Amino acid sequence: MLPLESAAIFLRGNKLTGDISEPTRFALATTEARRFYIEDQKWSLAKFEAVDFSALNYTLSKKKRGYGWWAAKQHSNFCGTRLQVARWNQTDDNRCPNCDQPDERASHLNVCPSPDRTLQFKESVDKLAKWLESGHTHPALAFWIPKYLIARGRCTFADLRHYCPPGIEMPQMILELAEDQDIIGWRDFLEGKISKKFYVIQRRFLMGAPSLLNGRDWVTRFISELLDISHTQWTFRNISLHSTTNGVLANERRNHLAEEIYKLQHMDPQDIPEESQFLLEFDIEELQEGHIERQEYWLAAIRAARLAGLRRIHRRAKQRGNNARKRALHKPLRQPRNPRQRQYSESIMYDLFGDWDDSKQPRVRPSEASLEANLASNKRRKRRRKD
């Protein structure tokens, strides 16, 4: 604290003289990140402490939000690789679109052996080497960094000194940095996780160099260049996969459409209405070699025509069935035959009833209403007699 300061805020040994919100959020995020990387990702404490997360956070803060999302998904292995998309789409095709190796993961991004991807990687490294040699970088860093990248993880940074021709030695300062970076790893290096010693070396170098950059500015630009190498590979991969002209998915779709066209061109013309049979007169070879949109349009048209033909056939069959039912309804019904009179045996009738006399039939008891109607006291009866 200064003599006239009554209070001051220190965060992890650093005095805060401005807005405390951003440093406080970063300190809390660092604590959470340490727990995540060490407990969940199984990082060592030495690896976590070696990464310059402050420089990485500052670099990503200058990028667009979508760029930061891509960097986070790439590092967490949840980028949209074929392996992850195959789980979502429930398909078996999880090959790399450039080298056809199975199980394309995020770790495959910068080590794809495809000749085109390898050439693109070398061009990106050459672009970085030109910037390193522009006079703002320590000469030893400008010499060793491109070689570490070109190795593509086949050897560690510190082991590069064993592959050098006679007369070339790695300085002790670079060797210590290389050992520190080897704890982090080659893949993490291309995802922006660099050693804190890069800033230390560059700050000392730029203090005596004729450059307007300081150590923090150089580290920010350096991390940005490393991330651009990975992002260029990701862009190249996506174009190879999703291009509407020569992309892998477009070629697979084109082959599938060619098979569908071959099947439908040999269909029975009677299944298609007469007004749509011109679709079968198309040049199939020219159609298969044409644009994918034209193929999809022809398939949609022929399928619609076939469906219309099937509906017309079904409608005609249904109409014939209705006509048959109508004829059956208008047909006159056959007159029923007279029921056959049953013949009874006279002997059985005589045994049951003997000499039957109709006058001896049992009398039916009249109802009370009929008896009351015939009484002399009935007023209605008297009225009918007067009439």
Q: Is residue 145 part of a domain?
A: yes
Structure tokens at 370: 């009929």
Q: Quick one: 307 and 221 in the same domain?
A: no
pLDDT tens, position by position, 95-152: 999 999 999 999 999 999 999 999 999 999 999 999 999 888 999 999 999 999 999 9
Q: Quick one: 263 and 198 in the same domain?
A: no
Q: Is residue 190 part of a domain?
A: yes
Q: Quick one: 222 and 321 in the same domain?
A: no
Handedness of CA 141, 142, 147, 150 (dihedral sign): positive
Handedness of CA 268, 272, 277, 281 (dihedral sign): negative
What is the DSSP secondary structure assignment for residue 113, as one 8-state letter?
-
> What's the rounded mean pLDDT across residues 210-226?
92
**Residue 54 above 70 pLDDT?**
yes
Q: Is residue 101 part of a domain?
A: yes
> What's the rounded mean pLDDT across residues 53-80?
92
pLDDT value for 139: 94
Chain centre to alpha carbon of residue 41: 26
Whose tokens are 């008297």? That residue is 382
Q: Quick one: 86 and 194 in the same domain?
A: yes
Gap between the Cα atoms of 234 and 70, Å rounded: 10
Gap between the Cα atoms of 195 and 178, Å rounded: 9
Structure tokens at 296: 């999809």
Secondary structure of the chain: what % helix, strand, coil (to 5)?
65, 0, 35
Contact partners, residue 288, CB within 8 Å, separation at least 6 = 257, 258, 261, 262, 295
If pLDDT is split at 50, 70 and 90, which confidence band does 9 have?
confident
Q: What percent of the chain has pLDDT over 90?
A: 44
Q: Which of 242, 263, 286 is the last residue of a domain?
A: 242
Q: Quick one: 68 and 30 in the same domain?
A: no
Q: Quick one: 203 and 306 in the same domain?
A: no
If pLDDT is split at 50, 70 and 90, which confidence band does 70 have?
very high
> What separation in angstroms does the CA of 116 have from each of 83, 109, 252, 355?
21, 13, 20, 124
Domain extent at residue 83: 51-242
Q: Contact at 8 Å (CB) between 272 and 306?
A: yes
Q: Quick one: 114 and 226 in the same domain?
A: yes
Q: Quick one: 175 and 287 in the same domain?
A: no
- Give, for 172, the enclosing helix (H) or strand (E): helix 172-184
What's the total number of domains in the chain?
Answer: 3
Q: Quick one: 82 and 196 in the same domain?
A: yes
Closest of 125, 210, 219, 138 to residue 171, by C-alpha: 138
Closest of 187, 254, 252 to residue 226, by C-alpha: 187
Q: Quick one: 300 and 199 in the same domain?
A: no
Q: Quick one: 26 and 57 in the same domain?
A: no
Q: Where in the chain does DSSP place strands (E)?
A: 9-11, 14-16
Whose tokens are 């804190």? That residue is 196
Total residue length of the chain: 387
Gap between the Cα atoms of 73 and 79, Å rounded: 5
pTM across the whole model: 0.69
